[in-house]
Chains A and B, each alone.
Chain A
Amino acid sequence: GAVVSQHPSRVICKSGTSVKIECRSLDFQATTMFWYRQFPKKSLMLMATSNEGSKATYEQGVEKDKFLINHASLTLSTLTVTSAHPEDSSFYICSARGRQGRNYGYTFGSGTRLTVV
């Protein structure tokens, strides 16, 4: 089945530094990838949608300059949290939709727990 690899699973960084999170589709071409943020005991909140080769579309209230998304290839999307602050600490999850067929299950990555100290 479709597999999405998300890396790293956990990261701790100092306030003011930048962190990059990768989301890779391992066995299918992901034309669209989604980035979610999940606060403790809460549901997933969509941050942005990225289509291969074009600029990401951000949800209202999400700072595009802080959360840089790049979807340069059909198998890789990256989320960079720039100048991270403690309030950016959260759980980030990506999901991917494939080009072929009705992959309407979507496939989620295993998530990244970001802690900013």
Chain B
Amino acid sequence: AQTVTQSQPEMSVQEAETVTLSCTYDTSESDYYLFWYKQPPSRQMILVIRQEAYKQQNATENRFSVNFQKAAKSFSLKISDSQLGDAAMYFCAYWRDNYGQNFVFGPGTRLSVLP
């Protein structure tokens, strides 16, 4: 079974600085997807960024980028120019494209942004 690990329960970053959240996963599959979801105090799950395993190029979405190391099964999220609105729980998730396949979520990292 697939597992997702986030070794940092809590992180903090100064506003405008850069922070990196770690994620590792375990799978025997070669074709899958990885995601970072943000859950602010409203509890709404918001997609931050996604990465297809077959793509070597790291995904980027504005201030958010990932460092995807497939052989190491590592998928870290870098947030640049951190903003107060980035404060939230961040969940790393694994998903494989099978009909009905669900997400496997990591335990989450709580990010605080200090003014």
Secondary structure at the B interface, as helix, strand, loop or mixed, is loop
A-B contact count (CB 8 A): 47
| Closest chain A residue, CB of each to CB of B37 | A108
B interface, size bucket: 20 to 34
In the docked arrangement, what's the CA distance between A104 and B49, Å? 12
In the docked arrangement, what's the CA distance between A91 and B50, Å? 25
A43 at the interface (CB under 8 A from B): yes
| Closest chain B residue, CB of each to CB of A97 | B100
B33 at the interface (CB under 8 A from A): yes
The residue that B105 contacts in the complex, of A44, A49, A104, A111, with Cβ under 8 A, is: A44
Q: Check if A106 sits within 8 Å of B103, measured CB to CB.
A: yes
B97 at the interface (CB under 8 A from A): yes
In the docked arrangement, what's the CA distance between A46 and B104, Å? 9
Q: Which residues of B contact A (CB under 8 A)?
A: 33, 35, 42-45, 47, 50, 91, 95, 97, 99-100, 102-103, 105-108, 110
- 7 A-B residue pairs with Cβ-Cβ distance under 8 Å, sorted by A, are A32-B100, A43-B108, A49-B102, A106-B95, A108-B44, A110-B44, A113-B43
